[in-house]
Structure 1
Amino acid sequence: MKSRQDAWSERDDKLLAETVLRHIREGSTQLNAFDEVGDKLNRTSAACGFRWNAIVRAKHTTDIARSKKERKQRMRALKLKTKPLYTPPETVIDYHEIDRKTELNVSIDDVIGFLQELKNGQTEHDEELQHEIETMKQQNALLSKQTEELENEIHKKEESFETIERDYEALVKIMNRARKMVMFEDDDLKANTFQMDRNGNLERVANK
């Protein structure tokens, strides 16, 4: 189990930032980036996520925006390879020289092409939105895990404090009992007088 506790260095933060930005550009998730950095630095994925959200992310807002833009361009390029976009006719149509049926067909084609482009743009936007939602879900899961770990740690501290408190109370009782015993012995000694007999032995003489 990874349990590294040393401080983050500037080099560690740089590795974390570069890895997260690369995953964003490639359309991957930040959670995958945290796993990768955790393996390289012998840290937990939760620790990497906390470091990114609390410290490193604020320093790379511009880089994050640029990486998202590159990811969007990459996705658009992939779509261009798989499905060509609608291109309008190269020739200029003179509607005065064609009949009404041809004019109607061209207008419908224009509308269909426009709707296809609109649909493609909406699909791309939906994919971006879905990706952001998935990233937020993963970050929420990561924060929930960190919260659970902190709550467990607090519970352990509370149990340890209760144990120390009980031990302290027991020690106080022992000290009070010992003090009473000493006081009783002193009173017992004061209540008795001793004298030496003819043979040199001590004998108790009751106080009058």
Structure 2
Amino acid sequence: MPTNRQDAWSNDEDLLLAEVVLRHIREGGTQLQAFEEVGKQLSRTAAACGFRWNSYVRKQYKSGIELAKKQRKEQRKQAQSTVEEKSVPEEIASSVPQNEEKVTTIDFDDLVSFLKILYQKLENKDGQSEKIQELEQKVYSLSAEKEKLLNELQTIEQDYKALIEIMERARKMVVLQEEDRQQKVKFQMDKNGNLERIEK
């Protein structure tokens, strides 16, 4: 006679495992979370619950799993559509409705929050305009400083050219003086073959 193991799974435990896992699938939770929840209820480890699910129970609930996944998709679509309905005030501010027959209802709280957002954007623009004015003043002062530096550079260049011109004149004067000195001094050979200096 075969003996049942002390830790054998009963039909009720399999049913509980299936219900919890399917609920987690429907609600968008993970199977691991389901295994942990069942493990606490049945005094088993999450690994044991996962093994039982994958080896035996899952095969019996294929249609239930598919149904739970469909329900999860529908819930996500509904949640997304409600989020889109809540975001209508922001869309009103950013775009003109394409279909004029489409009527949207906005409750008072949404309108107030929309106006608060607009007010914050306006305040941000005021802060930006102050920053723009500050930057324009900085540009003005930098352009004035640039103009001043350009004038100084032009003056320095003119002084440099004048200095070069003076130096060139001085060089020419030295060369001319040397030539004059060389022209003033003449040598003449006397009868004995000696050179004599003759002043002009």
- Structure index of larger Rg: 2
Select the structure with the greater relative contact order (CA < 8 A; seq sep ≥ 6): 1
TM bin, normalised by shorter chain, reads 0.3 to 0.5
> TM-score scaled by structure 1?
0.39
